Amino acid sequence: MEFHPLPSTSINTKYATGRLPTAIELSNTKLTFENRADCGSRSAESRTRLCIVHVASPSPSSSSIALRCQGPCFDCCFEVSKLTNDQDCTATAMTRPASSIPRWMCDTKKRNILAALSFLLIFSVVYVRFTVDSRLAIASYISNLRRDLRSATDANSSPSYWDALLDSDTLTGSQVMEYFLWSNRPSCQLVHDFGGTLYANPSGMDGQKSVCIDPQVAPKPDDCLVYSFGINDEWSFDEQMSDYGCQVFAFDPSMGKDPHDHTPGNVHFYDWGLGDRDKHDVDYNWKIRSLSSIYEELSVRHGRKIIDYLKMDIEAAEWTVLPEIIRSGMLSNIRQLGMEIHLVTDAPLDKYRELAKLLRSMENMGMVRFDSEYNPWFLGDFVQLQLWKHTQGYEIAWYNSNLSRPLTPA
C-alpha cells in the first residue's frame, strides 16, 4: 500500500484554523478531525490534509501512537513516532489518499439529497411491508374466525338438532343465526370457490360460490349446465364455470342489456328476473319469470338436462322464489344450489324462525348443506334480537343427495 507524506499546509480542524504552533494534549489516544473545507474540488491527495497533534500517551515510554481519521472526504491512517511537546503540525506522518472515495461524496448538497432519498426508500419499503402484512393478518384473522365459528357450530349440531331447536319455545336470535352459519362441512370432502371480488376492510372475497367437487355430485366438465341469477356486470363466476366446462345461462333484468352471448366463455345472457311466477314488474319495467317457466323455454337450447348448479344472488327475492321452486318440483332437477340469503334487520324472532324453517324444509327433502360463510361487509343492528353489527348475509351451498352418482370402483 502506497503512503504519502502529510502536506505541510494545514486545513481547518476541530480546534483551530491554520498552523498549530504547539501540540495539544488530550486524555486519550483517539482523536477525530473535522474537515470543513470544500474538498470536493481538490485532488484526491489533497483531500487528506490533516493536522497531527500530540496525544498524551498512557505510558511515557511509548514510542508511537496510531491514529485513524474518519469522514466522507478522507480515508487515512497515521503513525506518529516520538512526538515532543515543541513539535507543531509539520511533524512527520504518513497518510493514505482517499482515492477510493467518490468525489460526489464530498459535496454536502448531494450527500443530503442522497440521505433524503435513502430515507424515503427505506420508509416506502417498511410502509408497503407493513400494509401487506396488516392485510394478510386481517384476512387470516377473518378466515380463522370463520373456521372457529363453523367448528364450534358444527361440533354441536346435526339435522335433528336444528329441527328441535327451530321448534323450541326457547329459541333465541343468536341460535337462529347459528343455524344460518352452520356449514356442515364434513358432508363434502372437496369444496372449491368459483368467482368473487376481492374487497378490503376487512380483506376477503365477496360473491364467490362454493361448489362441491366430490365425484358423486360434482358437475361433469364438458357436460354440465349452470343457471346463474344476479350478475350486476360481475361475470367472474360465470366465466370460471364456463372455463370448468359448463354451459352457462346468466340472468339479470337490472343491467339494461339485451339478450346476448357473453364473451369470454360459453355464457348466454337473458334480461329476465327470477320470481315466483311470470309477470311484468311495472315499477322497474322488468320481465320476471319463474324457474320452471325459464327452464321450459330454454330446454330447446340445452335439452331437458339436470341443472348442475343453480346460483342465486337476487337481493332477498330468494325468500319468494324458494317456495315456488319446491312447489313446482324444480328442486328435484337441481344438483347443487349456491345462494346468498339476505336478512332484514327489523323483523321479530318468529320471522327469522320462518325463514330458517324454509331452508330446513329443503334440507329435509334431500338438499345437503356443505358450506356457509357470513358476509362481513353487510352488517346491521337486529334491534328485536338484540344483535348489534351483525351480518345480514350468508353464502350457503347445498347438493342434492337424491341426484348423487354411485361411486364406481377404481
In a domain, 118, yes or no: no
The pLDDT > 70 percentage for the chain reads 67
Together in a domain, 205 and 320: yes
Together in a domain, 82 and 177: no
Task: Tell which of 106, 121, 145 closes a domain.
Answer: 106
Give the per-residue pLDDT at 92: 36
Domain that holds residue 71: 1-106
In a domain, 222, yes or no: yes
Beta strand 204-206 with 94-95 is unpaired
C-alpha cell at 17: 484554523
Give the per-residue pLDDT at 39: 37
In a domain, 153, yes or no: no
Together in a domain, 244 and 380: yes
Give the per-residue pLDDT at 246: 97
Together in a domain, 218 and 70: no
In a domain, 234, yes or no: yes
What lies within 8 Å, CB to CB, of 338 at 6+ separation is 209, 210, 211, 309, 310, 311, 312, 395, 396, 397
Together in a domain, 335 and 213: yes
Together in a domain, 97 and 169: no
Give the per-residue pLDDT at 60: 43
Number of independent structural domains in the chain: 2
Give the per-residue pLDDT at 322: 98
C-alpha cell at 70: 474518519
Give the per-residue pLDDT at 9: 35
In a domain, 345, yes or no: yes
Give the per-residue pLDDT at 113: 85
Give the per-residue pLDDT at 102: 55
Give the per-residue pLDDT at 176: 97
Q: Give the SS3 label for residue 149.
A: helix
Distance set, CA 1 to CA 6, 153, 213, 268 (Å)? 16, 77, 74, 81
In a domain, 359, yes or no: yes
Together in a domain, 92 and 207: no
Give the per-residue pLDDT at 54: 37
Q: Is the pTM of this model over 0.85?
A: no
Together in a domain, 219 and 330: yes
Give the per-residue pLDDT at 41: 40
Tens of pLDDT along 344-360? 999 999 999 999 999 99
What's the longest Cα–Cα distance across the chain? Answer: 116
Together in a domain, 298 and 367: yes
In a domain, 140, yes or no: no
Give the per-residue pLDDT at 185: 92
Together in a domain, 316 and 379: yes
Residue 393 and residue 375 in contact, taking contact as beta carbons nearer than 8 Å: yes
In a domain, 126, yes or no: no
Task: Tell which of 38, 73, 106 closes a domain.
Answer: 106
Q: What is the CATH number of the domain that holds 313?
A: 3.40.50
Tens of pLDDT along 360-382? 999 999 999 999 999 999 999 99
Q: Give the SS3 label for residue 148.
A: helix
Q: Which amino acid does the sequence have at 358?
A: L
Using 50 as the pLDDT threshold, list the residues of the chain that sit under it: 1-101, 155
Together in a domain, 272 and 373: yes
Give the per-residue pLDDT at 229: 98
Q: What is the DSSP letter of 89?
A: T
Together in a domain, 230 and 332: yes
Q: How far apart are CA 57 and CA 27, in angstroms?
A: 8
Give the per-residue pLDDT at 251: 98
**E-strand stretches of 292-376:** 309-312, 336-342, 367-374
What lies within 8 Å, CB to CB, of 147 at 6+ separation is none
Task: Tell which of 72, 106, 140 closes a domain.
Answer: 106
Residue 237 and residue 228 in contact, taking contact as beta carbons nearer than 8 Å: yes
What lies within 8 Å, CB to CB, of 142 at 6+ separation is 202, 203, 204, 376
